[in-house]
Amino acid sequence: MIHNFNAGPSILPKEVFDEAAKAILNFRDTGLSILEIGHRTALFQSVLDEAVLLAKELMKLDGDHEVLFLHGGATTQFFQMPMNLLNENQTAAYLDCGTWGTKAIKEARVFGNVDVVASSKDKNYTYIPKGYVIPADAAYFHYTTNNTIEGTEMYSIPETNIPLIADMSSDILSYETDYNRFALIYAGAQKNIGAAGVNMVVLRKDILGKVDRKLPGMMDYRKHIEAGSMLNTPPVFAIYVCLLTLRWLKKIGGVGAIEKINRAKADLLYKTLDEKEGFQPTVAKEDRSRMNVVFLINEPELEKKFLEACREQQMIGVKGHRSVGGYRVSLYNALPLESVKALSELIYQL
């Protein structure tokens, strides 16, 4: 058995692979592949409609929120979002907790002013800042809910009356939260929603149309809403994999059910790392991510044994991001608890 701990693109449920593979050869007994059907046909429209409805159901969204499936991944949203929401003479508030937040801040400064209300850069992003003040007159407040590279996670939604914007690329639909409190959420699909190649954007319509600048059609959220995520040819196959993954999540009991499994996986692995001599989690305990467990191995010989054992037992994707080194084990929704148990046993045996 292969244990896939990759940080993204990441593991998907086996039944999603099975259904997607069938659809590549023969989609819904049409004799056509999902890769070749017209995106404006009733066949694909039914895929897109069901994916949107399932996302709204699983997130318990109200009628004021729209769900879009767009090109470009979360990185495009770093600039598309401020382009739509931030005037040149306005200031947006940002929390800087890691690589992706830093990139988002850089892009926002192209369109207006940015107030970095707090940062954990002083300790290499190994904690989430506390006690910061969000300016009441800011255009919006942006933060990253889970920092994939550094292994930190926000466990509560900040209190503010200004529009809340969240990059949820690596923990969306992994735990229950009030998604309706957000004015805009974006998430690359390739961790918990589906395959690489599509980005899900959830937004409240009343925040749009307030900037002075002219927007290119492809960058205007309103145009995408009007076109139902088909302003141009959408990433058909990636959206289909999203649909299959959302179906799987609903089938196993929804977000509440997967949250319990995710907690069990993270609790087991952190307990193992805390108890095993030579292994050192790098993140403040109260801010440890349930999705991306980051740690160091302090003894060169132990490190060598760990890597050899991972290779022998087909444990894939345990190396840390190139920017921080060390090790990272990703525990996304589709990763079974059995894989974490196997890794825990391996660590204890070293």
Catalytic residues: 100, 167, 191
* Token representation of residue 305: 């044994």
8-state DSSP, 286: G
Burial of residue 347 (number of CB atoms within 10 Å: 0-12, 13-18, 19+): buried
* Greatest CA separation for the chain: 62
> What's the rounded Cα separation, in Å, for the pair 258 and 113?
39
The span from the CA of 217 to the CA of 232, in Å, is 10
Query: Pick from 44, 84, 79: which is nearest to 66 by CA?
Result: 84
Phi, psi values for residue 316, rounded to 5°: -100, 140
- Element (DSSP H or E) covering residue 247: helix 236-251
Cα–Cα distance measured from residue 142 to residue 87, given in angstroms and rounded to the nearest whole number: 15
Q: How many residues in total does the chain contain? A: 350
